[in-house]
């Protein structure tokens, strides 16, 4: 009798989670796949809103966010939770990519939901016991693995369902990751207010509630996702011959992909795009308050903390919109041209920001920052389609997982560059826009490196192609 274990990885298993049980029958509407993917990405995108817990977590003992007790966790200690989660995102995406290709999206989504929801539950125990190690292990380590598996779980499936609109499809899903913070932040605030009386700052029960809510919400994706049957193609679909030089007809395995210069050029492309973007996102609130403070704008006319929070919200919104808009546009423009725009236009806009700050042109400053962040989001969302163009559909999810190590690297590099350059400027006595001038010029330089890497991308040599027919769905010969 065949095994019926839910998480059995055997391809012969009858588990309802296995790839073989998720092949779509006739009549399945492919437009059900993007909402399934969105259910995963909207949930795990909550990670970007982790900072909403910073103050409550930093005052669990004192009970007063403005007057923490000596035994309370510091902002730096709490910040590591998010950093661990992002590093684990990249690592687990790289490690579990090939497993995902083998077992299919449903099992991967289930694993992601268990890790992400479970991470919250373990984290709640850490908060309850005031154990930082348990918080790091729960939300950071276990939850981070959920982030990585969840992030890549729908990508290759979407590309297979939408060969005619790869950018639109992956853009819709990855847009969800940007939107997750917009849901996660007000949800956390509402829950903490609700549980305020029952636990210190209401954090531990909020973690439990969010763990359960996200676990259930992600189940929609788990049970809705389907993979297309072998050789399925949309009705009337004819592979495009436009931009064909960079759209391969072959298939490259994940192990071979990392031996190609194209993979590492794209790694640099993602690294530079994300490093520059994180630099702005990370510092957005102090940046706008210091650049447009009362000192420069006149008493009572400077940007307040509340207005700065609005600026951060606006950037999140454009991060989300950019993921869909730019990725969809790349279907028409071609991926290489799309990235050339992100970098070329990005260099100009990053270099322009300090001048706008010096001249106190607030509205234009906000508009330019929003365009910059939209292209940061676009860079994330266009990556899977670019990989599919270059390496084929065979193991694109696994290749994407390995590419995401660039994100983990950027997550450390971006804030490091910004903090060092800003601190050095402040030590020299610079204030306002001048204190951030070198940050933006450095980021423009980084984007120039990214542009160069993008321009160097050429079609993958045929010697890296898989020999003979490959089974796309099984990810094996």
Partner 1 sequence: MTQQPNSSTPVSDEPATGGSVVLAWLFVGIPLLWGVSQTFIKALALFK
Rounded CA-CA distance 334/321 in Å is 19
Contacts for 38 with CB less than 8 Å, ≥ 6 apart: 172, 173, 175, 176, 221
Q: Closer to partner 1 at the Cβ: 165 or 402?
A: 165
Applying CB under 8 A, does 5 fall inside the site for partner 1?
no
Rounded CA-CA distance 144/85 in Å is 4
Q: Which range in 129-137, 157-165, 248-256, 300-308 contacts partner 1 by CB under 8 A?
A: 300-308
Which one among 226, 393, 402, 422 touches partner 1, defined by CB under 8 A? 226
Residues that contact partner 1, how many (by CB under 8 A): 55
Applying CB under 8 A, does 153 fall inside the site for partner 1?
no
- Number of Cβ within 10 Å of residue 283's Cβ equals 18
What SS3 class is residue 234? coil
Dihedral of the CA atoms 76, 430, 368, 298 (nearest 10)?
Answer: 100
Helix, strand, coil percentages for the chain (3-state, nearest 5):
75, 0, 25
Applying CB under 8 A, does 55 fall inside the site for partner 1?
no
- The single residue listed with the structure tokens 């120039």 is 448
Sketch the per residue contact string, 159 through 198, with partner 1: x for CB under 8 A, - otherwise.
-----------------x--x-xxxxxx------------
Which one among 121, 147, 320, 410 touches partner 1, defined by CB under 8 A? 320
Q: Which range in 135-143, 253-261, 306-314, 398-406 contacts partner 1 by CB under 8 A?
A: 306-314
Supply 401's token pair.
């997982």
Q: Which range in 225-233, 248-256, 376-384, 462-470 contacts partner 1 by CB under 8 A?
A: 225-233
Q: Closer to partner 1 at the Cβ: 311 or 376?
A: 311
Q: Which of 131, 120, 132, 121 is nearest to 50 (CA)?
A: 120
Which one among 229, 245, 416, 456 touches partner 1, defined by CB under 8 A? 229
Sketch the per residue contact string, 396 through 415, with partner 1: x for CB under 8 A, - otherwise.
--------------------
Beta bridge partners of 34: none
Crossing angle of helices 335-358 and 437-455, rounded to 10°? 170
**CB of residue 363 to partner 1, shortest distance in Å:** 8
Applying CB under 8 A, does 465 fall inside the site for partner 1?
no
Beta bridge partners of 465: 252
Query: Is 52 within 8 Å of 183 (Cβ atoms)?
Result: no
Applying CB under 8 A, does 103 fall inside the site for partner 1?
no
Site for partner 1, rule CB under 8 A: 1-2, 11-12, 14, 19-29, 31-32, 35-36, 38-39, 42, 176, 179, 181-186, 217, 220, 224, 226, 229-231, 303-304, 306-311, 313-314, 316-317, 320, 366, 471, 473-474
């Amino acid at each position: 009798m065949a095994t019926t274990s839910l998480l059995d990885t055997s391809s012969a298993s009858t588990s309802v989670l296995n790839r073989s049980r998720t092949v779509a029958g006739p009549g399945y509407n492919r437009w059900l796949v993007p909402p399934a993917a969105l259910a995963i990405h909207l949930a795990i995108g909550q990670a970007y809103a982790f900072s909403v817990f910073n103050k409550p977590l930093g005052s669990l003992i004192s009970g007063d966010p403005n007057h923490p007790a000596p035994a309370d966790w510091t902002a730096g200690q709490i910040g590591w939770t998010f950093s661990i989660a992002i590093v684990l995102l990249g690592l687990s995406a790289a490690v579990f990519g090939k497993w995902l290709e083998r077992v299919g999206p449903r099992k991967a989504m289930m694993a992601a939901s268990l890790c992400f929801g479970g991470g919250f539950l373990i984290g709640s125990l850490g908060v309850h016991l005031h154990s930082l190690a348990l918080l790091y292990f729960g939300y950071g380590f276990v939850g981070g693995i959920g982030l990585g598996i969840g992030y890549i779980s729908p990508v290759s499936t979407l590309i297979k369902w939408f060969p005619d609109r790869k950018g639109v499809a992956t853009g819709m899903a990855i847009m969800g990751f940007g939107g997750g913070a917009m849901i996660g932040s007000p949800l956390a605030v509402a829950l903490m207010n609700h549980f305020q009386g029952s636990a210190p700052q209401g954090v531990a029960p909020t973690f439990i509630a969010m763990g359960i809510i996200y676990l259930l919400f992600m189940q929609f994706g788990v049970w809705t996702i389907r993979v297309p049957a072998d050789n399925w193609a949309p009705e009337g679909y004819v592979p495009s011959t436009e931009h064909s030089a960079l759209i391969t007809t072959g298939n490259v395995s994940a192990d071979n992909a990392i031996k190609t210069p194209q993979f590492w050029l794209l790694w640099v492309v993602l690294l530079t795009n994300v490093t520059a973007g994180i630099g702005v996102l990370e510092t957005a609130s102090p940046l706008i308050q210091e650049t447009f403070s009362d000192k420069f704008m006149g008493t009572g006319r400077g940007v307040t903390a509340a207005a700065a929070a609005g600026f951060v919200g606006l950037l999140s919104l454009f991060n989300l919109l950019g993921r869909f808009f730019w990725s969809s546009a790349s279907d028409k423009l071609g991926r290489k041209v799309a990235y050339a725009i992100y970098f070329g236009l990005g260099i100009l806009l990053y270099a322009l920001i300090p001048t706008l700050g010096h001249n106190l042109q607030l509205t234009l400053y906000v508009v330019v920052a929003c365009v910059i962040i939209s292209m940061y989001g676009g860079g994330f969302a266009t990556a899977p389609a670019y990989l599919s163009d270059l390496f084929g559909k065979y193991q694109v999810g696994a290749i994407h997982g390995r590419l995401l190590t660039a994100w983990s690297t950027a997550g450390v590099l971006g804030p490091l560059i910004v903090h060092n350059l800003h601190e050095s400027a402040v030590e020299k006595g610079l204030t306002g826009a001048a204190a951030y001038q070198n940050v933006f010029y450095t980021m423009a330089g980084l984007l120039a490196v990214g542009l160069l890497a993008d321009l160097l991308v050429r079609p993958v040599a045929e010697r890296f192609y898989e020999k003979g027919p490959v089974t796309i769905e099984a990810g094996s010969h």
